[in-house]
Chains A and B, each alone.
Chain A
Amino acid sequence: MRYAVIRFGGSNCDLDTVHVLDEVLGVPTDLVWYRDGLQREYDAVILPGGFSYGDYLRAGAIAARTPIMGDVLRHARKGGLVLGICNGAQIAAESGLVPGVFTRNEVPRFVCRPTWLRVESTESPFTSLFRRGEVIRVPVAHGEGRFVAPPDVVGRLNRERRVAFRYCDDEGRVTPEANPNGSVEGIAGVFGENRNVLVMMPHPERSSELVIGSEDGRRIFESMIAHCQNDIQRQV
């Protein structure tokens, strides 16, 4: 099993993500400079948080058009896992891996705080180790995290159970007060069409060790690892 974390110019959560995967969870992980492209097969590719290209034009817009994203799309089409976190989620949405867009927060300021998330679907390689409806604590840090999509697209995401997480209060109620950025229906994370892509604004790599406040986010990575191990066993 081998994972890749892609570093764009301006990524800044790349090393935290490698740390969690490699040192906390023991998954051999390559830090891949975007200009080098994906040189080999990976079980999972992670697009980390940060400010690729200084958020010029729109957050994620320019990174989404770099050649390495062609490699990432091919990897996803073959069924490989892709996790986009924060700026990585913006890049993934801009490249069409999921519908919709993450844009300027409703109140135009940078929000950086812990949030509660309700796990909406456990039927995915990213959320299989959660209970449906479970409330977890994962922090956000973004200025452009408001999920926007046309009503028919939101309807389809709901019907296909492709909403992974919603912002909620500590008892799991999805309320406007619990919504840090004005995302439609409190959507914090969505799956791609085949559920092998998850994009989310909250940072699971910042909630993977108790020493920094929460380890709820770690189960996303652990779910991915369990999925990949099953895959490997099936191949043997």
Chain B
Amino acid sequence: MRFDVKITIALKEGMLDPEARAIQNALAHLGVPTLSLSTARQFSIGIDAMDREQAEATARAICERLLANPVIHRYDIEVA
């Protein structure tokens, strides 16, 4: 059975995000000051699994084995 999974990888709370800071500066130059800004990356993955739990387990394995680096990242999994 096909499950469509959305995985979001973001920096852990308190981690320096130089890219976000640069974007925030650029927005300020455009005259749009912002109070906060953070970046994240989203992956849309189709997974073949018996059921929802199995799809989630596979998605967790994908995060832990490759997509996220546990030193700096947290991840969020959404199974459609």
Contact = CB atoms under 8 A, between A and B. Distances in A.
Partners in one complex: yes
Contacts of B42: none
B18 A57 contact: no
Contacts of A32: none
Interface size band for A? 20 to 34
B72 A57 contact: no
A61 B18 contact: no
A228 interface: no
A26 interface: no
Contact of B16 (A57, A58, A101, A182): A182
Interface size band for B? 10 to 19
A107 B65 CA distance: 28
Nearest to B69: A101
Given A104-B18, A105-B18, A65 B66 contact: yes
Contacts of A108: 18-19, 21-22
27 contacts: A57-B66, A57-B67, A58-B69, A61-B66, A62-B66, A65-B65, A94-B69, A99-B71, A100-B71, A101-B69, A101-B72, A103-B72, A104-B18, A104-B19, A105-B18, A106-B16, A106-B18, A107-B18, A108-B18, A108-B19, A108-B21, A148-B15, A148-B71, A148-B72, A149-B71, A150-B71, A182-B16
